[in-house]
C-alpha cells in the first residue's frame, strides 16, 4: 500500500519480510563488489577474526534497502533519496542467517515547494536471534498525494 508524505507519522513502525543469506550469494556479491577474504574464501575466513564466512556490509545494506522497497510504502511516492546517515554494522551476517527489517519514521518536514516533504526513516536489521546486525537512517523526499508524476 503506497503512502505519501501526509500519511507518514513520526513514531510509526513497519516490519518487513525475512530474507535468508546463502553462502553462494555472499561469495558472488563479494567477488564483484567487496573481494575480501572474509567474504569470498571460506577456509581463510575460518582462521580469521570472525571464525567463518561473513556477508559484506554493503551486501547487507543492499538487502536491507531491498526489504524496505518490498514493504511497498514508497514505490509510487518517493521523489528521490537524499542520503544515508549513521550507518553501522553491529554484527556479522553469516550464511543461513535470516534478516528482518524494522523501520521507524523519526522525522518529517514539508518542503518549501509544498509538493513533497523530507521523511527520515530509521532502519534496523535483525537476524533470526533478534540481534541487531545493522542500523542506518535514510532521508528521502516523498511526494504529497496528488503531486507525483505517476498520479498526474
List, for residues 96-151, the tens digit of each pLDDT value. 999 999 999 999 999 999 899 999 999 999 999 999 999 999 999 999 998 876 55
Total structural domains within the chain = 1
- Is residue 151 in some structural domain? no
Complete DSSP assignment for 35-47: --HHHH-HHHHHH
Q: In Å, how far from its chain's centre is CA 139?
A: 12
Q: Which domain holds residue 23?
A: 5-143
User: What pLDDT does 148 receive?
Assistant: 74
- Is residue 125 in some structural domain? yes
- Is residue 23 in some structural domain? yes
- Is residue 29 in some structural domain? yes
CA distance 152 to 49: 54
Question: By three-state DSSP, how is residue 94 classified?
Answer: coil
CATH of the domain at 57: 3.10.129.10
Amino acid at each position: 500500500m503506497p503512502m505519501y508524505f501526509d500519511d507518514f507519522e513520526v513514531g510509526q513502525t513497519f516490519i518487513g519480510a525475512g530474507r535468508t543469506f546463502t553462502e553462494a550469494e555472499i561469495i558472488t556479491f563479494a567477488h564483484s563488489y567487496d573481494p575480501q577474504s572474509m567474504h569470498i574464501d571460506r577456509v581463510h575466513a575460518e582462521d580469521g577474526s570472525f571464525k567463518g564466512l561473513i556477508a559484506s556490509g554493503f551486501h547487507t545494506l543492499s538487502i536491507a534497502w531491498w526489504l524496505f522497497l518490498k514493504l511497498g510504502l514508497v514505490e509510487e511516492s518517493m521523489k528521490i533519496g537524499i542520503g544515508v546517515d549513521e550507518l553501522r554494522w553491529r554484527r556479522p551476517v553469516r550464511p543461513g542467517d535470516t534478516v528482518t527489517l524494522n523501520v521507524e519514521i523519526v522525522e518529517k518536514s514539508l518542503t518549501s515547494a509544498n509538493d513533497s516533504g523530507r521523511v527520515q526513516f530509521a532502519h534496523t536489521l535483525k537476524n533470526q536471534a533478534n540481534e541487531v546486525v545493522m542500523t542506518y537512517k535514510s532521508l528521502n523526499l516523498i511526494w504529497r498525494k496528488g503531486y507525483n508524476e505517476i498520479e498526474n
